[in-house]
């Protein structure tokens, strides 16, 4: 059949449309592909989150579960993963020699090679029954979006040892964006906090003693005194705090025996709900085992050491050589994967600490916290080449012992509060230090108002508003002028 020109044009147009549709479909398929973490990478992520003490426990558990994983004989005492030194001339040496010499030396979990389809089943680790871990377990009982889960993790990490939330939600919202890269607001944190306060034990996530006790009473629906207890804690909390029990009878229209019963019921409540979790780890919580040691010599030379506690070096048993049994090979692959993950964890931890020391060198040489420069997770990520989430995991729950004291790693991340008159970035700690000095020097008979403190700080070169001075004063726990007489 002979085709006309119009038919040819139609066919050509249809052919072009089909090709475009195919290209669009192909592009759409490529866009929806999601890169998933390999089991080895998930193991590395979890090991990265662990402080040295939890890591030691994880290693012990792995050795118990894997018959082909052995401890390498070493001298007794604390073990370290190498040192790194930076002198005044900025010269550096890395005694750990972490860089791989060739592609053959690169662990399989970094090159993307998977050992076994069964590797995922070997990634679990004991939670050590800490407060944080128990609360994380309860997250699965509530319907939370991925973003809400991140905020929940952040709130859980912000609780103090009693399980209470001492910082205001406004401050937490600001710090979430600065330190964790989480965009949120007070209203959103309030909603997530309401869910957290439904966790066990009752009282977790309370922002005050009053809220802590009220949460516990409201949860106890079978208590016959529940409504009266709520009235006492909600409307007459000041009388309760000051033990003015004689006033409660007339106000609640109850007799003395009933008042005494309410008193006994209130004394049953737990003002420290976090203390009821982690009893097995209470002894360990009494002292902090630092993950890093930073020593500063008199000439300003700084030496960084990564601690491994009493964790031994691990090797694969020589008895596994030549074994062809599938069961044995799985355990050998699992053990090698674990050893490689530990090595990569050491490298990541060390390089992160090196970057922090470089960025905060004046502090590590002098111990003067006012010399801490503004530093965000992004700054350390750029210096190390790691992802921001990796830096966040390293900084979380880790401590460094310095010549001037022991500090949580998060303490070194400070944001720019303002600029000085000379245009230099100024941190909140610098402003707080100057604020504290002025308050210490004030006439206690006529304490300085926030307005006066603002004028003094502005004279010092800080471009700062009065409301900011009030915020920093409250964060430092310093009362208003009339309360400082």
Region 397-424 average pLDDT: 76
* CB 376 within 8 Å of CB 388: no
d(CA 206, CA 197): 7
Residues in the chain: 485
Q: Which two tokens stand for residue 270?
A: 């737990």
Distance CA(26)–CA(18), nearest Å, equals 12
Q: Which two tokens stand for residue 234?
A: 């909600």
Average confidence (pLDDT) over 13-18? 56
Residue with tokens 């964890």: 345
pLDDT at 380 exceeding the cut of 90? yes
User: Could you read off the pLDDT of 190-237 as tens digits, one per residue?
Assistant: 999 999 999 988 899 999 888 999 999 998 888 888 898 898 888 988
333 band by pLDDT with thresholds 50, 70 and 90: confident
Query: In 237-325, which residue ranges form alpha helices assigned H by DSSP?
Result: 237-241, 245-252, 256-267, 282-285
Least reliable range by pLDDT among 46-55, 126-135, 323-332 = 126-135
CA distance 144 to 152: 9
pLDDT digit string, tens, across residues 256-283: 888 888 888 887 888 888 865 544 344 4
pLDDT of residue 310: 61
Give the pLDDT mean for 433-439.
86
Per the CB < 8 A criterion, the answer to whether 178 and 415 are in contact is yes
Structure tokens at 437: 């000095």
Using an 8 Å Cβ cutoff, are 266 and 240 in contact? Answer: yes
Rounded-to-10 torsion of CA 437, 440, 445, 446: 20
Is the model's pLDDT at 111 over the cut of 60? no
How many C-alpha atoms does 277 have within 13 Å on its Cβ side? Answer: 24
Token pair, residue 34, equals 């999601």
Q: What is the mean pLDDT of the chain?
A: 76
Cα separation, 278 vs 274, whole angstroms: 8
CA dist 378 → 186, 322, 347, 391, 420 (Å): 24, 47, 19, 8, 23
pLDDT attached to residue 207: 92
Q: Which of residues 485 and 406 earns the better pLDDT score? A: 406
- Look up tokens 């002894």; give the residue: 283
Give kind and range of the element (H or E) at residue 466.
Answer: helix 466-475
Q: What is the pLDDT of residue 287?
A: 61
Q: What is the share, in percent, of the chain residues with pLDDT greater than 70?
A: 75
Q: What is the mean pLDDT of residues 121-126?
A: 30
More confident call, 220 vs 285: 220
């Amino acid at each position: 059949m002979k085709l006309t020109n119009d038919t040819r044009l139609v066919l050509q147009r249809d052919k072009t449309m089909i090709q475009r549709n195919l290209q669009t479909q192909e592009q759409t398929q490529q866009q929806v592909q999601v890169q998933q973490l390999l089991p080895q990478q998930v193991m590395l992520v979890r090991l990265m989150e662990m402080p040295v003490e939890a890591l030691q426990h994880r290693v012990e558990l792995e050795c118990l579960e894997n018959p082909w994983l052995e401890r390498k004989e070493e001298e007794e005492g604390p073990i370290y993963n190498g040192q790194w030194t930076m002198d005044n001339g900025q010269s550096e040496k890395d005694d750990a020699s972490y860089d791989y010499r060739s592609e053959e030396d690169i662990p399989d979990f970094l090159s993307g090679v998977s050992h076994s389809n069964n590797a995922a089943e070997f990634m679990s680790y004991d939670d050590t029954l800490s407060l944080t871990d128990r609360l994380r377990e309860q997250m699965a009982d509530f319907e939370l979006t991925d973003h809400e889960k991140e905020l929940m993790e952040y709130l859980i990490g912000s609780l103090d040892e009693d399980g209470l939330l001492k910082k205001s939600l406004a401050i937490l919202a600001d710090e979430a964006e600065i330190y964790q890269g989480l965009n949120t607001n007070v209203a959103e944190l309030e909603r997530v906090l309401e869910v957290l306060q439904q966790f066990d034990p009752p009282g977790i996530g309370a922002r005050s003693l009053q809220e802590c006790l009220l949460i516990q009473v409201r949860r106890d629906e079978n208590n016959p005194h529940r409504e009266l207890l709520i009235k006492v804690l909600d409307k007459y909390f000041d009388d309760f705090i000051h033990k003015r029990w004689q006033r409660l009878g007339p106000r609640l229209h109850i007799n003395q025996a009933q008042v005494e019963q309410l008193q006994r019921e209130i004394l049953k409540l737990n003002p420290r709900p976090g203390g009821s979790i982690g009893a097995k780890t209470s002894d360990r919580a009494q002292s902090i085992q630092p993950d890093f040691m930073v020593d500063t010599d008199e000439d300003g030379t700084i030496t960084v050491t990564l601690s491994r506690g009493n964790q031994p070096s691990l090797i694969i048993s020589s008895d596994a050589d030549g074994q062809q049994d599938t069961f044995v090979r799985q355990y050998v692959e699992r053990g090698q994967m674990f050893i490689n993950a530990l090595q990569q964890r050491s490298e990541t931890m060390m390089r992160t600490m090196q970057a922090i020391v470089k960025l905060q060198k004046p502090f590590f040489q002098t111990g003067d916290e006012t010399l801490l420069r503004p530093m965000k997770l992004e700054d350390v990520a750029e210096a190390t080449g790691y992802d921001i989430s990796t830096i966040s995991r390293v900084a979380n729950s880790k401590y460094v012992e310095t010549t001037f004291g022991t500090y949580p790693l998060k303490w070194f991340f400070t944001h720019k509060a303002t600029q000085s008159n000379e245009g230099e970035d100024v941190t909140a700690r610098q402003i707080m230090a100057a604020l504290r000095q002025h308050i210490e020097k004030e006439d206690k008979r006529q304490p300085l108002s926030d307005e006066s403190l603002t004028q003094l700080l502005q004279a010092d070169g800080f471009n700062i508003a009065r409301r900011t001075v009030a915020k920093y004063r409250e964060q430092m726990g310093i009362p208003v002028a009339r309360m400082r007489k």
